[in-house]
């Protein structure tokens, strides 16, 4: 699959590096030539950080990170944005979904996607006939004449104007906007590289699985020991702790709000959160080659794809005109492919974003490798992919005795512990201070999860669902939104309207870190969560449930609203009240108190918030909290419990609730 040797190959191989060096990874003397290739390449092009991982016959034989004048050197565990290397991953997921009987890749997208346009627009009649397979082969007919790789996700301002929703746009905004545009080719006839087509492919995954795209990907990747795959985040202060920093000279008006602020192109000039299925994964090189090498032996236990699914993924595209000349490159379903006869195929994909250059390669010889750099060629001169490909090709030809060790056990993260009652409590994204999740495990297999957040206009919203505990995940198959309950003594449970709005999956990495993937009204997103407190130690897994006050409290006559109580270390108590205002709109209040038992009743000032913009545009500085009355709460283990609320604004009247605790499988002792 190698490109022709680049003119500067000899310079690249003979360059003596003075600044670039190995930053992390096991020394492998037999393969030290790859250290030379990486350090020389990075020195020649002033690239701050890089990673290289290599497998042979399914074993990780090489995993190193490199640095050159970097502000934050990376490790072999560091995640990099992988850009369009996300496309073959999405293709793998869709072929797995087909293998499991969830769809046929020959289904028309109209079977799985909403093709509604913006008001006043009409869909191209050919759009409904585009197939899922054509999305993966860039044969959907999307794009604009003369614009290679047309990506509506890079036209945020135009979409925000057309939808009248403002920035940031959601994937559902992009889809409605594009549903009203004409196709430029008859579907299935002409290759036109399309990020948008792969965005739709991700939405098809969500439609057929009922899960957020990222949650389904985690489910499959977890099968082969990949637990640290993340989806990209746009802003620098929201990068993951072990993520590389990115270097680009480009600037642009932010697409994450309506301020018009000029930002670095790699940090807010693009909405990475919308890129998931076509360019939005952030993963380490060792994890990528774990996936690549898993495809080598589809008959082995634990293979993601069976032989039929894998070979179908790399077949010639439907618009191919025979004959095929061995060695020629073609674009299959999400992969570039060269076949050399007898099903010997090299499969690969490049990735490029501002501050990102990646290359995932799987050779028919049983060798796979992943290159990740945090800078791309912005000079307009030369082809860095050709250079590094040629250099690696020469290096590979010089390896005659491959090591037999396997570094995967020491490089990949261990499987997280199963979810359980030790994860009760409040979880939030530190960059989204002002919203979060409240979790209450009510039996060994079930939890109730409340999500208190906002809509796109900054108004309060809350959602809830019953989660099933499966391994280290809590899965809410049906996320619900309610409205209609009238605040106060006139509350009527029969007026509460419940609407299914999506799904939610929380993956727990450990006792203090988790990830929430959500699918909400057709738009998927994710948050990286931290725990509000750590009320337990690793050797006391149930310590978080040892206070009888923790959990859900509600009034039987007010079914549809209630309190979540969390007792923190040191005696502080946090109270969440999920309710409605007098007009039936969802509302939630938060109160805290220190050192009170609540057994004799305690007055707690409740706060009402507003201003948080839903999704990637959330800014904690815009959240305004105001005092909104007092709740005198009395909680008793064996006696009557109550809440007397008064002093709120005009949306909230006085009300008394007779409380009882929702049953729990934990039986903490009464200590009244």
Q: pLDDT tens-digit profile of 386-411?
A: 999 999 999 999 999 999 999 999 99
CA dihedral over 567, 568, 570, 572, signed as positive or negative: negative
pLDDT for residue 546: 64
**% of the chain with per-residue pLDDT over 70:** 93
Q: pLDDT tens-digit profile of 79-100?
A: 999 999 999 999 999 999 999 9
Report d(CA 473, CA 471) in Å as an integer.
5
pLDDT for residue 115: 98
Report d(CA 356, CA 248) in Å as an integer.
9
More confident residue, 532 or 334: 334
Report d(CA 456, CA 622) in Å as an integer.
13
Contacts with 147 (C-beta within 8 Å, 6 or more apart), sequence order: none
Of 225-234, 304-313, 663-672, the poorest mean pLDDT is in 663-672
- What's the token pair of residue 273? 């959160």
CB 153 within 8 A of CB 195: yes
Instruction: State pTM to two decimals.
Output: 0.94
pLDDT at 457 over 60: yes
Mean pLDDT of 156-182: 95
pLDDT for residue 147: 65
Q: At residue 30, what are phi and psi to the nearest 5 degrees?
A: -65, -20
DSSP calls for 160-173? HHHHT--SSPPHHH
Smallest CA-to-CA distance from 25 within 247, 284, 224 is with 284
pLDDT for residue 423: 93
**% of the chain with per-residue pLDDT over 90:** 88
> Would you say residue 193 lies in a domain?
no
More confident residue, 568 or 588: 588
Angle (CA) 180 183 189, round 5°: 155
Smallest CA-to-CA distance from 202 within 194, 212, 192 is with 212
Of 9-23, 48-62, 549-563, 582-596, the poorest mean pLDDT is in 9-23
Report d(CA 283, CA 291) in Å as an integer.
11
pLDDT at 13 over 60: no
DSSP calls for 455-488? -TTS-EEEEEEEEEEETTEEEEEEEEEEE-PPSS
Of 9-13, 38-42, 100-104, 562-566, the poorest mean pLDDT is in 9-13
**Residue 668 pLDDT class (50, 70, 90 cuts):** low
pLDDT for residue 145: 54
What kind and span of H or E run contains 9? helix 9-14
Number of compact structural domains in the chain = 1
> Would you say residue 594 lies in a domain?
yes
Taking the CB of residue 328, how many other CB atoms lie within 10 A of it? 10
DSSP calls for 62-98? EEEEEESS-SS---TT-BEE-GGGHHHHHHHHHHHHH
> Would you say residue 229 lies in a domain?
no
pLDDT at 193 over 70: yes
> Would you say residue 123 lies in a domain?
no
Smallest CA-to-CA distance from 413 within 142, 227, 192 is with 227
Q: pLDDT tens-digit profile of 612-647?
A: 989 998 999 999 999 999 999 999 988 899 999 999
HSE-CB for 64 with a 13 A CA cutoff: 21
Smallest CA-to-CA distance from 659 within 644, 671, 647, 672 is with 644
> Would you say residue 80 lies in a domain?
no
More confident residue, 4 or 348: 348
> Would you say residue 59 lies in a domain?
no
> Would you say residue 297 lies in a domain?
no
pLDDT at 666 over 70: no
pLDDT at 538 over 50: no
> Would you say residue 430 lies in a domain?
yes
Report d(CA 388, CA 378) in Å as an integer.
16
pLDDT for residue 12: 37
pLDDT at 215 over 50: yes
Judged by DSSP in three states, 211 sits in coil
Report d(CA 91, CA 335) in Å as an integer.
8
CB 528 within 8 A of CB 429: yes
- Domain hosting 466: range is 421-661
Report d(CA 558, CA 425) in Å as an integer.
23
Report d(CA 561, CA 47) in Å as an integer.
55
């Amino acid at each position: 699959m190698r490109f022709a040797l680049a003119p500067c190959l000899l310079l690249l191989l003979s360059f003596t590096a003075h600044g670039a060096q190995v930053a992390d990874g096991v020394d492998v003397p037999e393969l030290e030539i790859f250290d030379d290739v990486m350090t020389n390449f990075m020195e020649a092009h002033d690239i701050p950080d890089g990673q290289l991982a290599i497998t042979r016959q399914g074993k990780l034989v090489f995993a190193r990170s490199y640095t050159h004048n970097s502000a934050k050197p990376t490790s072999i565990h560091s995640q990099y944005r992988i850009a369009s290397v996300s496309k073959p991953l999405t293709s793998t997921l869709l072929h797995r979904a087909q293998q499991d009987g969830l769809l046929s890749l020959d289904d028309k997208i109209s079977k799985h996607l909403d093709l509604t346009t913006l008001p006043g627009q009409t869909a191209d009649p050919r759009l409904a006939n585009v197939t899922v397979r054509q999305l993966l082969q860039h044969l959907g007919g999307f794009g604009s004449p003369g614009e290679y790789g047309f990506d509506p996700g890079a036209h945020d301002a135009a979409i925000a104007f057309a939808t009248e929703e403002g920035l940031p746009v959601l994937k559902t905004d992009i889809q409605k906007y594009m549903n009203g545009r004409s196709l430029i080719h008859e579907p299935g006839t002409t290759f036109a590289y399309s990020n948008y087509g792969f965005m739709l492919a991700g939405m098809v995954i969500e439609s057929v699985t009922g899960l957020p795209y990222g949650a389904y990907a985690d489910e499959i990747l977890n099968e082969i020991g990949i637990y640290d795959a993340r989806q990209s985040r746009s802003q620098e202060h929201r990068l993951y702790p072990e993520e590389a920093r990115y270097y680009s000279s480009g600037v642009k008006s932010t697409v994450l709000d309506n301020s018009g602020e000029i930002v670095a192109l790699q940090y807010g000039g693009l909405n990475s959160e919308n890129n998931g299925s076509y360019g939005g994964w952030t993963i380490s090189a060792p994890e990528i080659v774990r996936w690549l090498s898993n495809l080598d032996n589809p008959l082995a236990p634990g293979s993601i794809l069976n032989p039929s699914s894998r070979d179908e993924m790399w077949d010639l595209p439907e618009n191919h005109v025979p004959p095929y000349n061995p060695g020629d490159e073609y674009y299959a379903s999400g992969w570039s492919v060269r076949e050399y006869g007898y099903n010997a195929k090299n499969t690969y994909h490049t990735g490029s974003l501002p501050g990102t250059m990646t290359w995932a390669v799987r050779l028919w010889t049983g060798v796979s490798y992943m290159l990740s750099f945090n800078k791309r060629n912005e000079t307009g001169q030369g082809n860095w992919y050709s250079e590094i490909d040629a250099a690696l090709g020469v290096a590979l030809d010089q390896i005659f005795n491959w090591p037999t060790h396997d570094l995967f056990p020491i490089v990949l993260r261990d499987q997280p512990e199963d979810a359980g009652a030790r994860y009760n409590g409040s979880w939030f994204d530190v960059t989204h201070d002002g919203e979060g999740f409240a979790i209450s495990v009510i039996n060994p297999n079930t939890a109730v999860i409340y999500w208190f957040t906002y809509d796109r206009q900054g108004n309060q919203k809350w959602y809830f669902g019953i989660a099933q505990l499966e391994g280290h995940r809590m899965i809410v198959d049906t996320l619900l939104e309610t409205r209609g309950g009238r605040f106060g003594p006139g509350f009527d449970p029969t007026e509460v309207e419940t609407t299914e709005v999506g799904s939610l999956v929380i993956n727990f990495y450990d006792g203090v870190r988790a990830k929430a993937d959500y699918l909400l009204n057709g738009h998927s997103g994710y948050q990286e969560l931290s725990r509000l407190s750590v009320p337990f130690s690793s050797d006391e897994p149930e310590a978080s449930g040892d206070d009888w006050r923790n959990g859900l409290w509600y009034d039987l006559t007010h079914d549809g609203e209630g309190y979540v109580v969390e007792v923190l270390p040191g005696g502080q108590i946090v109270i969440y009240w999920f309710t409605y205002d007098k007009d039936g709109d969802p509302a939630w209040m938060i109160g805290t108190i220190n050192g009170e038992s609540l057994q004799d009743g305690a007055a707690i000032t409740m706060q009402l918030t507003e201003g948080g913009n839903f999704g990637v545009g959330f800014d904690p500085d815009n959240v305004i909290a105001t005092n909104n009355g007092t709740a005198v709460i009395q909680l008793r283990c064996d006696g009557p419990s109550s809440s007397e609320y008064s002093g709120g604004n005009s949306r909230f009247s006085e009300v008394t609730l007779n409380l009882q605790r929702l049953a729990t499988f934990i039986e903490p002792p009464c200590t009244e």
